[in-house]
Chains A and B, each alone.
Chain A
Amino acid sequence: MTEIALLIGALVAIAGIAWLPLRATRWLGAGGIGLVSLAAARHAVGDAAALALGATLAVLAGRFAPPRVLRRVAFLVPSFVLLVAVTTALMYMAPGSPFTQERAIAPSVEAALRARYGVPASPLGFFRIYAERLIVAGDLGPALKVQGRSVGELLAPALPVSLALGTSALLLAVGLGVGLGVRAGLRPGSLSDHVSMGLALLGLSLPSFVIGAALAIVFALRLGWLPVAGWSGVGSAVLPAVTLALPYAAVIARLARSGTIEAMQQDFVRTARAKGLPERLVVWRHAVRTALLPVVSYLGPAAAGILTGSFVVETLFGVPGMGQWFVKGAINRDYPVVLGTALFYFGLVTLFNLAVDLAYAWLDPRTEAEA
């Protein structure tokens, strides 16, 4: 019952922020930035320096950050609480526990194990221990199923791998999608339009692991240009990154196409042409900036999706990234591993959404006024 109360409390907190007036949201957002940077920097640079950093960032953000960004940050702290609470509740509700084994263990042994690893039988107790450990010691806790390693030690080598894979996939998706989409949108109905949109539709209609397997068969097994699996050097990153990127490139191409078609019919494009600008400048300086707005707002979901897709792609190509740990942790009921990866994914998506908000405010000044 208490955990349900906790969940409802966190939801109410999130919803409650929506009721606050703009000025309060601004304060809360600035405070949130300060708090998060304080918590993140404490264990790297020490208390005093982190406090100074947090305060500076909070003041700077409060003065200069767009309201849209501050608003998102204001939701950040309760969102993290909600994330940990929901995940904990779901894991405790799932049958089995990290200490379930083939052979039944004595209750006293299990109790000792639970105390040793900080995994009490009640979800609320676990939540308290986990939050305290995370905030006070900056520690993600011990991994329950990998003997003698902490979650931090497990995830630290996986973090750069996942980041590199995700970033290159995202860049690839955006580059490919925008290039093809704008090209197609400038000449709707042409052959290149039909070809690229047909390809995009095909990319949307196959699971990425089929595309990945096909690519692996052609480029790794038949041609021998690239390694089939593993993670060593740039060559081994190509196939996973391309596989991960293609479905998103397809969506982005479709968005960029319809955005371009729409933008090219606008008055300001006619004005730009009328004042004698070369077509190249009309397209790339005036039309594309508007045409890409839908693409930019898709980037947030795309980033979340690429991270999710990485669960599958990492498994397919044997890439030692975070996604594998999440899946393993979930199946093994390794609560701290699941929570650690969850915090990582959620943090990354949030950071990314902040960047998207900033980009949006820059591309379309009107959104600034509305927020």
Chain B
Amino acid sequence: MSQPTSHVPRSERQAERAARAEPERSRTSWPSEARVGAGPWRRAVRRLARNRAALAGALLLVAIALACFVLPGLLALDPSRTAPELHHQPPSAAHPLGTDALGRDLLARVLVGGRTSLLVGLAAALASASIGVVWGGVAGYVGGAVDEALMRIVDFLYGLPYMFLVILVMLLFSDTARGRALPVFVALGLVQWLGMARIVRGEVLALRGRDFVLAARALGASDARILFRHVLPNCLGPIVVVATLGVPSVIILESYLSFLGLGVELSWGQLVAEGVAVVNPIASPWWLLVFPSAFLAATLLALNFLGDGLRDALDPRSG
């Protein structure tokens, strides 16, 4: 799905692994590793804290988010104030990252653009995660023909180049909300849930026959209660990992859309696309390409580090 994410085919391996009867992951504690009373989540947090790359990623992410949401207000930066006499100024004390063709301050544009990129990434990843969890959960839990039918629809959408669907959905909004975040968010959310649905289905399929599910059923719990209270919480590890790794892929997708002229106004993707457009061999305003790309890449790297760290922490069996 999307910008390539490595979790896609893992669903099968994970399901296989989970199917080899192992002690239930999050309700039993392994005495060899943890102190008495340390829950699985606390153990995961401890493992995460020991992972320096993931920790650095998390810190970097917090720093970037703070900078994007707080700094422009503090420094009274205005991303849209034009100053024709400042056309393509290289970085200086007054404009640390330089200015663009209209003399707008690049630092202000990068920080304010970061808000859009982070919000679109977060919102689309959250929305698609919820669709994917419900869809995959129902498919895996009910099983049989319902499962087949639901997953065939996922397969069909999976077979489409996702950008194709995204562009078509974007067209729907082309008059009313061009350049706004909403259409991008809807379109990206629509294609992002497929990977999540597959992985959750695999997990649920493996958990469905476990003793604690039978016990819950014996106690008279309804199917919905079993699925949402007993089965899905046990899949939380993979869900968190996939959702975290979904954010960078949404941000990259948005940048593709911006590059094609269909994205959100003033986002990192759009700034990078503008930077690519102005680079030429004679007089290249390199800062227009380098700084937005650096912010984008740093954020995505941080998210990827964090996602990998979460995977190692929450799912210790995976390599």
Q: Identify the A interface with B (CB < 8 A).
A: 11, 14-19, 75, 79, 82-83, 87, 90-91, 93-96, 201-202, 204-207, 209-210, 213, 217, 221, 247-248, 250-251, 254-255, 257-258, 261-262, 294-295, 297-298, 300-302, 304-305, 307-309, 311-312, 315-316, 326-327, 330, 333, 338, 342, 345-346, 349-350, 353
Q: In the complex, how many residues of chain B place their beta carbon closer than 8 angstroms to a beta carbon of chain A?
A: 56
The 7 closest A-B pairs by CB, nearest first: A18-B148, A15-B149, A205-B300, A94-B171, A308-B161, A258-B319, A95-B175
Question: Is residue B4 contacting chain A, with contact meaning CB distance below 8 A?
Answer: yes
B6 to chain A, nearest CB (A): 5
Is B259 part of the binding interface, using a Cβ–Cβ cutoff of 8 Å?
A: yes
Q: Which of B63-71, B128-136, B162-170 lines the interface with chain A?
A: B162-170
CA distance A106 to B76 in the complex (A): 52
Complex contacts, A330 vs chain B, CB 8 Å? 167-168, 171
Closest residue of chain A to B303 (Cβ to Cβ) is A205
* Chain B residues, CB < 8 A from A257: 319
The answer for the CA separation of A327 and B153 in the assembled complex, in Å, is 25
Contact between chains at B175 and A207 (CB < 8 Å): no
Q: Which residue of A lies closest to B254 (CB)?
A: A207
Give chain A's interface secondary structure class: helix
Which of B8, B281, B301 contacts A205 (CB under 8 A)? B301
- B276→A18 contact, CB < 8 A: no
Report which of A217, A247, A345 forms a contact with B160, defined as CB distance below 8 A. Answer: A345
Task: List the interface of chain B (C-beta within 8 A of A).
Answer: 1-6, 8-10, 12-13, 145, 148-150, 152-153, 155-156, 158-164, 167-169, 171-172, 174-176, 248, 252, 255-256, 259-260, 269, 272-273, 276, 279, 281, 289, 293, 296-297, 300-301, 304-305, 318-319
When the two chains form their complex, are residues B279 and A213 in contact, meaning their CB atoms are under 8 A apart?
yes
- Shortest Cβ distance from A90 into B: residue: B168
| Bound CA span A360–B308, Å | 27
Nearest residue (CB) in A for B12 is A297
State A206–B276 Cα separation when bound (angstroms).
Answer: 13
Best-buried of B153, B304, B319 by chain A (most CB within 10 Å): B319
Which residues in A have their C-beta under 8 angstroms from that of B152?
Answer: 14-15, 17-18, 75
Q: A75-B156, A255-B9 are in contact. Are A209 and B148 (CB under 8 A)?
A: no
Are B161 and A304 in touch, CB under 8 angstroms? Answer: yes
Q: Output the least CB separation between B173 and chain A (Å).
A: 8
B158: which A residues are within 8 A, CB to CB? Answer: 300-301, 304
Cβ–Cβ contact B160 & A298, under 8 A: no
CA A106 – CA B169 in complex, angstroms? 29
- Bound form: Cα–Cα A94–B167 in Å: 11
Determine the chain A residues whose CB is within 8 A of the CB of B256 once the complex forms. 207, 209, 309, 311-312
Question: Given A15-B149, A205-B301, A210-B289, are A315 and B10 neighbors across the interface (CB < 8 Å)?
Answer: no
Given A18-B148, A251-B5, A316-B276; A205-B174 close (CB under 8 Å)? no
Q: Please name the residue on chain B nearest to A297 by beta carbon.
A: B9
Q: B304's contact among A15, A79, A201, A311, by CB below 8 Å, is which? A: A201
Chain A hits for B255, CB < 8 A:
207, 209
Whether the Cβ atoms of A312 and B297 lie closer than 8 Å is no
Say yes or no: A210 contacts B272, CB within 8 Å.
Answer: yes
A90 to chain B, nearest CB (A): 4
Cβ of B175 and Cβ of A96 under 8 Å apart?
yes
